[in-house]
Amino acid sequence: MNSASASAFRPTRRHLLSLLAGGTFLLASFAANPAHAEDLMLTACNGITPATSASHYPGAGNIILSNDLARPAGKAQYAAGQLLRISGRVTDENCVPVANAIVDLWQANPFGEYRWAARDELLNPEPIFAGNGRAVTDNLGRFNFTTLFPGSTGNNAPVVQFRVTHPDFKTIDTAMYFKGDRRNATDSRFKAFSADNQSRLLGKISSSADGNTLNASHNITLKGRVPFRSY
């Protein structure tokens, strides 16, 4: 590049001020909009997620290979109940995404019953709630499920249970309770955890714009590290 070309690419004071102003605006927009900050990878984990019991686990052979429990493949309609969409990330203890992790989910139906759809129920066209499902994390560690809000019995709080499996990590059984649900205060299983671990088991709940669907955000942080040093 000759000197004339080099001078053409030399930023003027006005250009520098413009770039600085643009950067200031970008930082201000993140500060003013927490939604941007929450989507940053480094806020996806908040300490190692505690393990819980694997009560009612249906067995790997009974897990349907779909992340849609409310409307399994071949069904034209959703099963009856409050639609719930769960999304989250699986990360290691350094907040690095864990790709290709198998996430099994199982839960009670809206009546508080643990019941798995039989093969003939899955094959016919009638709506049915599967009761369990499976997702595999993408390269950013993300997973999602479509399900129904679980019912509860007695003093138990509604809960969704997970099993996360990956060859580089120890398999973990854990759970998601619902932040703000008053029944958490009477659930002996939930109360047995420390306050910090309770916070790591709580999914953040919001409703869709039309008010017909609940959204839950829940991240799972595994003990250990992926082979990469940082993200």
Say which CATH topology domain 39-221 has.
Protocatechuate 3,4-Dioxygenase, subunit A (2.60.130)
Determine the 3-state secondary structure of 197 from DSSP. helix
- Distance (Å, whole) CA 158 – CA 177: 7
Q: Give percent above pLDDT 90 in the chain.
A: 74
pLDDT in tens, 58-70: 999 999 999 999 9
Name the strand (E) or helix (H) holding 217: strand 213-217
Whole-model pTM: value is 0.80
Tell me if 170 sits within 8 A of 183, measured CB to CB: no
Query: Which of 162, 155, 200 lies closest to 57 in space, CA to CA?
Result: 162
Q: What is the CA radius of gyration of the chain?
A: 22
Determine the 3-state secondary structure of 161 from DSSP. strand
Averaged pLDDT, 165-193? 97
Averaged pLDDT, 169-181? 98
Averaged pLDDT, 214-224? 97
Averaged pLDDT, 33-61? 74
Give the pLDDT band (50/70/90) at residue 3: very low
Name the strand (E) or helix (H) holding 89: strand 83-91
pLDDT of residue 153: 86
